[in-house]
Structure 1
């Protein structure tokens, strides 16, 4: 009697038992052309966690005003930051993907994805699904948690996998602002510049958010005052983006040995007329220059790879603003990019989320 043998799934034996590691950064246009920048802006700004207003007014705002008018201006700036390797944010992500794969070894499959544009989250997760991976670790490249960044990655990942017949075990890295190697990476970069010049003041500039998004995160309605409530990180504000930024600064200042009164935490990249979290970096720069401060070393510890917000906004535009108001020496501290200590940080984060069988 002939026995019928059912076909087994065509999952390569070498992939069984491996863990998928999805590295997720914000995203970048496919090119600095106006159509590609417009496409990127539309996808990015139509995210309800980025512009948190109802769909119809958001659609009209993004597609009727922001994308059409901002795309040509943004395309010019993207051309400035573009390199022979393309977008630096994507290029460094690809290098980190390769280096982390080497570091972790054959027990892992490492993929880079972008929250917006390519390589997409859908493509990365589908690749893991086809390999039959049942353990996935997602690492958003945002040191401090915010609904508009890390929260958006969470939502998109869950939206993709919810239709899968078999939903894998998924671990998310919520934030890593307190990881010793992440802090040490920026400390090493800061010391290099501090050894070359005697700076009077130090700015720690983080990406801004509308105040309403910070208040929404305070479900008690009793903690957030957008002021001295961020003077320490504790159980009640541990997921507050602004509080996490101030905590990042405190850790960097401590390890760099920067004296009290010689540094400022501030926030950049405002959009629209609604109030954003303060103090604003632009106002801080003007005030410092007016007080006679002549030299500033600027950190951007909300970004792990060089991009528009670091290279152009902090490195060039704020430098011009500082000099325009009387400042003389402005220096940007580069991002972690593809540095060995950044690869070590990621490897630690992966291993801390890995299930030991």
Structure 2
């Protein structure tokens, strides 16, 4: 009897269209997630549905309209679909690969149901966020666990919860940067998605984690190994090493902050001001928190930061493409799947032998 192994790739999400109503629906689901805005449900409801969504939806819709493709639609969804198609081809018929978004469509519930109906032997969940954060990977894991909790039978379920130091992923970003001729730029920015500082305090058992005292900007340790900021800095160091960049040649910063509470610093906008003040004219920007180009890369970096930097006296901001459909990235996904299956097979064999004894 031929059986299949299930693979579920999950990215953040995208509205169904750049229309205000669809963007409003997407933002509502996204921002009402208690792991994204981690305050009380009543307060979150007032903040999101009373202030943020009504005011941000029209503005955000215009941003989506600027990057929306008339033929392929949402860049994030289209690129994700290409990644899945390429991975299916690489893995072959013994695997069933599905795509889902944490928010909106295609939904995690529908993807899991397809795998369940196929009676796969195992389901490997890969949240497409290289660095672990409660608001991204953690939210995906929680959602998957809630959905399968009511199942009466379970295939073996495993989760890849982080891959910030994956060798092939690092090489892919470096390859894409080399194509932009790194040597022709004054400085390189590694711009990661931002997080509120309060969400980093619970990455250790004390609940008082502090990046300043845990060496998060300089090394990965037993104390900071689950810290989003520490993982971001490690990703940047590894890519910089591949490109032969010394520490004076690049800066790690964080974008997309929301609200007045402090977020992980330095902020990308502040970094642009600092670099422009030092006479930097040409910037090359990598965004290694994203495996596919999306609103945050195609618009926020290319358009918003590009215009801001020019107003400050800079000349040019160039975005390095994300992993997208690069063959090494698809190979990285393939290796993650195979490695996890080998671990699962070894465990099954081990426990089967114990049962026989």
Same fold (TM over 0.5): yes
Task: From 282, 287, 297, give the equivalent of 1:310.
Answer: 297
Q: CA deviation at 1:262?
A: 1.1
Give the structure 2 partner of residue 18 of structure 1.
4
**2:9 maps to 1:55:** no
The answer to whether the 8 A contact 1:226-1:277 is kept is no
CA displacement, residues 136-178 of structure 1 (integer Å, 9 cap, x when unaligned): 0000110000000000000000000000001221110011111
SS in structure 1 of the partner of residue 99 of structure 2 = strand
SS in structure 2 of the partner of residue 163 of structure 1 = coil
Tell me how far apart the structure 1 counterparts of residues 58 and 207 of structure 2 sit (CA, whole Å). Answer: 41
Give the structure 2 partner of residue 256 of structure 1.
243
The answer to whether the 8 A contact 2:194-2:254 is kept is yes
Tell me how far apart the structure 2 counterparts of residues 100 and 271 of structure 1 sit (CA, whole Å). Answer: 35
Q: Which aligned segments of 4 or more residues in structure 1 are displaced greater than 6 angstroms?
A: none
CA displacement, residues 279-321 of structure 1 (integer Å, 9 cap, x when unaligned): 0000000110011111111100000111110010111111111
**2:254 maps to 1:267:** yes
| More displaced stretch, 335-344 vs 212-221 | 212-221
The answer to whether the 8 A contact 1:223-1:229 is kept is no
Tell me how far apart the structure 2 counterparts of residues 252 and 324 of structure 1 sit (CA, whole Å). Answer: 29
| More displaced stretch, 74-83 vs 219-228 | 219-228
Tell me how far apart the structure 2 counterparts of residues 296 and 330 of structure 1 sit (CA, whole Å). Answer: 5
Task: From 45, 66, 69, give the equivalent of 2:55.
Answer: 69
Task: From 113, 131, 135, give the equivalent of 2:122.
Answer: 135
The answer to whether the 8 A contact 2:286-2:319 is kept is yes
Q: CA deviation at 1:235?
A: 1.5
Q: CA deviation at 1:107?
A: 1.0
SS in structure 2 of the partner of residue 103 of structure 1 = helix
Tell me how far apart the structure 2 counterparts of residues 110 and 136 of structure 1 sit (CA, whole Å). Answer: 9
Q: 1:55 to 1:223 in 2, by over 3 A?
A: closer
Counting only pairs closer than 5 Å after superposition, residues 36-47 of structure 1 correspond to structure 2 as 36-47=22-33
Task: From 135, 155, 158, give the equivalent of 2:145.
Answer: 158
The answer to whether the 8 A contact 1:218-1:224 is kept is no
**2:69 maps to 1:80:** no
Tell me how far apart the structure 2 counterparts of residues 239 and 136 of structure 1 sit (CA, whole Å). Answer: 24
Q: 1:295 to 1:337 in 2, by over 3 A?
A: same
Q: Number of aligned pairs?
A: 342
**2:109 maps to 1:122:** yes
Q: 1:227 to 1:263 in 2, by over 3 A?
A: farther
The unaligned stretches of length 5 or more in structure 2 are: 350-357
Task: From 183, 198, 207, give the equivalent of 2:193.
Answer: 207
Tell me how far apart the structure 1 counterparts of residues 18 and 128 of structure 2 sit (CA, whole Å). Answer: 22
Task: From 283, 286, 303, give the equivalent of 1:299.
Answer: 286
SS in structure 1 of the partner of residue 180 of structure 2 = helix
The answer to whether the 8 A contact 1:298-1:333 is kept is yes
Tell me how far apart the structure 1 counterparts of residues 260 and 208 of structure 2 sit (CA, whole Å). Answer: 26
Relative to the length of structure 1, the TM-score reads 0.93
Tell me how far apart the structure 2 counterparts of residues 328 and 97 of structure 1 sit (CA, whole Å). Answer: 37
